[in-house]
Chain A
């Protein structure tokens, strides 16, 4: 399009009125992760590079915001807490593939998209916890055991509709098929000590208080609880059982990131991505949040290390994401939350 001088002048005027001063080095993040978990890491990045990181955090709706903002969206990077949201971004065609030697070296293939449309940052295992007092060591070994009638009235979980439970159920569907997964979930349901409620911490607390003996929670909650003087006792009352170590391994989910298609600060965003998979950030994830870093060779938090080697499920995370909707419906059909 040829530009007449008038147009250019008008453009310049409009620019003067509208343009917000943009500092050369910044990167904009839409984050599903809670600010207090990632802010220290982002601050570290700013300190190291001088690049400013701007964040919007929300629990839902950021994918829709990105979609409707379209090509003018200011967002460069999405941070998510599970694989489901990453796959949703890919399916909505909102992300740009990116591959750099650093990223591919840092993140093992099972934790990233083959084309580089998303990368995992940390993994978290969904493990079984049992009462140290009332349950013998080794009495429960697998997710399948949760449906065993011997645990009738002994099991607590959070709502079956929570992302973490839906993820676990989706992996059961992926491994056993929908019919068997349904029988299993009905078994777990009939073993519940109370209506599913509270978050993962609340399940440890219920064990401590004797409301139930067995629960399913994410590993990092144990670490979080140990740091909180009021909650320390809950964590100390339970034993962590890595499930299915003799067969497929424990169900894991990832927190991850994806570069947006419309990213206005693509280069700085990639720098941030490389920082997040690098040693420093991965170590911070491990130490502060007690998550498993994806980068091989980064030391685990002492607490995680003390539980021994974790064998995790090799099932592709995209498979888990694929069965999420089916898993969510299964929860309705079984009436898990009723």
Chain B
């Protein structure tokens, strides 16, 4: 293969120019096929929008649409503030500072990720509404007789939804911010300190800007989850675009009209993505593999120490401990009757499917992003971007997007078989776990792609060049240089896809095979009926199943650094490379 390394410092990284006629090697085709497969369901949604059963825009625009848009924007801004404050703040504290309980907070702060948003909403409504124990205790304590005697904030409100979603979504920001802080070179922080920055200065002027790609990925995941959330907003009667979409689909019987709203939401996200990428393109940071020295570890004392403890305790207690205790309390009563072989079957379904989805999503992400690193290809980039939007599409709509191409494929194959073989093959993929897997991968590809790309982007191109100069091919370079370096990012990706798949509900309901239940569908059938007690055992198990990988992950992220602290010589001792390349 004729290769030619791009000049050092060029902004596109180690581009290997292809010789003519080599455009479609086997790997290239495989990569493009994967990208196309996952992009397809997202493409189907705007296609559906072309065929509304009646034009709904005039009605929507003159009545509810402005309200939907305003509410959606308010909700997203609120959740953005909440997740950033909790996620970045906590990540900086546990990574760079020393205070009591830090080592526990490191992993405990990830735990709310395992709590589905609809479950936390049910739990807090149970606790905080008029008849709940909190208001009941207040009434008993102060002798109030009815709702007219006092003011208590309404949990079922926009503010309530912001709080609920922030509590379960901040771990995205926390996780990626922490990974980014951990990967930061001490030399840079030392340089900042020696040039006169205090801890705050180092944080605001050096660490934060360098961690921005990771933080932005985490934030955009949280935003997309917020955008597609239906469980919480419908329970709290907060009227967002998603709520409007379901209304047009189910009450007005207009799937095309619903797909039009979904397309507006996609456009919404596409604009965000483009803006984010545009701002990032001008500043690209590379770091070397020099993570040998210990991070600074500012020791906090006095009120600072207590403030840090409080800031880390609140998200963990409110986002995880309280819901888990409430569920555990109910689950104890449910346990004798609920722990059946059938229930264990649901748990196995959830575990198996989620693990498979995690592996598939991570493999697809690695394949596509490494390919793009080697040979940037406009089509591949486009397909990946499109597939990534799947995360912002409400699950039920995405399910239709998966259903349409799969059923079309099955029916086409069946028609061929009938014609040529005189027999019917029926539906091979639709209505099987394959459909579910595809749905999960499409839905959560943005998560794994974001984490994998962010880590890969931080590996300096000079590493590729060195490895290639020393005679390794792209495959060996990937195995021996990139994979070890991005291990943390890959694990993060796998974990989040796993936990997200455990919680996934609307697409699972629509696409699943006959008599097939997961923990999420099992929980939902009771929770949606406000029978939180009967849902508690399943909900608790979803939360617990999320715990193990969270703990493992947190240790691995930390260990990545610890190992390197001891075995730093294994890696190329390149000096820290920070390249701010202007486009």
The answer to whether A binds B is yes
**A residues apposed to B, CB below 8 Å:** 1, 3, 7-8, 10-11, 14-15, 18, 28, 34-36, 54-62, 64-65, 68-74, 84, 88, 159, 161, 163, 166, 195-199, 201-202, 205-206, 208-211, 228, 230, 324-325, 327-329, 332-333, 335, 337-338
- Nearest CB in chain A: distance from B398 CB, A: 11
Q: Which residue of B lies closest to A28 (CB)?
A: B514
A-B contact pairs, 20 of them (CB 8 A): A7-B421, A7-B422, A11-B421, A11-B422, A36-B526, A55-B515, A56-B512, A64-B400, A72-B414, A72-B427, A74-B431, A74-B514, A166-B251, A198-B530, A199-B529, A209-B130, A211-B147, A230-B533, A328-B251, A338-B67
Chain A residues in 8 Å Cβ range of B253: 84, 88, 324-325
Answer whether A18 and B510 are a contact pair too, CB < 8 Å, given A88-B253, A328-B252: no
B423 touches A11 (CB 8 A): yes
B556 within 8 A of A: no
Chain B residue nearest in CB terms to A29: B514
- Contacting residues, chain A, for B255 (C-beta < 8 A): 64
Q: How far does the Cβ of B72 sit from chain A's closest Cβ, in whole Å?
A: 15
Q: Counting CB contacts under 8 A, is B581 at the interface?
A: no
Residue in A71, A166, A328 whose beta carbon sits within 8 Å of that of B411 in the complex? A71
**Roughly how many angstroms separate A11 CA and B421 CA in the complex, as a whole number?**
5
Selected from B399, B424, B530, the residue in CB contact (under 8 A) with A72 is: B424
**Complex: A72 Cα to B418 Cα, angstroms:** 12
> What is the bound-complex CA distance between A335 and B533, given in angstroms?
34
Give Cα distance in the complex from A230 to B131, angstroms: 11
Q: Are A60 and B237 in contact (CB under 8 A)?
A: no
Contacts of A325 in B (CB 8 A): 54, 251-254
Nearest residue, chain B, Cβ from A166? B251
Contact for A56 among B410, B420, B513, CB less than 8 A: B513
CB of B407 within 8 A of chain A?
yes
Which residue of the partner chain A has the closest CB to B48? A64
Complex partner residue of B431 from A35, A69, A84, A205, CB under 8 angstroms: A69
Q: How far is the CB of A103 from chain B (nearest CB, A)?
A: 25
Q: Does chain A have a CB within 8 A of B118?
A: no
B146 and A210 form a contact (CB under 8 A): yes
The reply to whether B411 and A58 contact each other, CB–CB distance below 8 Å, is: no
Determine the interface band of chain B, counting residues with CB < 8 A from chain A. 35 or more
Chain A residues near B60: list those with CB within 8 A: 332
B223-255 interface bits toward A, Cβ cutoff 8 Å, 1 = contact, 0 = none? 000000000001011010001001101111111
B384-410 CB contact bits vs A (8 Å, 1 = yes)?
Answer: 000000000000100110011001101
Q: What residues of A have a CB within 8 angstroms of the CB of B55 in the complex?
A: none
Contact pick for B400, options A61, A166, A202, A206, CB 8 Å: A61
Q: Is the CB of A60 within 8 A of B525?
A: no
Determine if A69 and B430 form an interchain contact, defined as CB atoms under 8 angstroms apart: yes
Residue B510 contacts which of A60, A199, A337 (CB distance < 8 angstroms)?
A60
Choose among B247, B403, B417, B526 the residue that contacts A328 (Cβ–Cβ < 8 A).
B247
Q: Contact flags (1/0) for B42-61 with A, using CB distance below 8 Å?
A: 00000000000010000110
Chain B residue with minimal CB distance to A12? B423
Closest to A30 in B: B514
- The reply on B317 being an interface residue by CB < 8 A is no
Q: Is the CB of B509 within 8 A of A73?
A: no
Residues of B within 8 A of A1 (CB): 419, 422
Further 9 A-B residue pairs, CB within 8 A, beyond A62-B510, A65-B431? A56-B512, A61-B396, A65-B430, A68-B430, A72-B426, A209-B147, A211-B130, A329-B252, A332-B64
With a CB–CB cut-off of 8 A, which chain A residues contact B147? 209-211
Least distance between B229 CB and chain A CB atoms (Å): 16
Does chain A have a CB within 8 A of B15?
no
Query: In the complex, what residues of A have CB within 8 A of residue B531's CB?
Result: 228
Assembly CA distance A206 to B246 (angstroms): 26
Q: Which 6 A-B pairs have the closest CB atoms?
A: A54-B514, A61-B510, A328-B251, A11-B421, A58-B509, A332-B63
Q: Name the residue of chain A whose CB is nearest to the CB of B395.
A: A61
| B328 interface residue (CB < 8 Å to A) | no
Is B146's CB under 8 angstroms from A337's CB?
A: no
Contact A60 B403 (CB under 8 A): no
What residues on B are CB-neighbors of A36 within 8 Å?
Answer: 525-526
Is the pair A70, B411 in contact by a Cβ cutoff of 8 Å? yes
Contact A60 B246 (CB under 8 A): yes
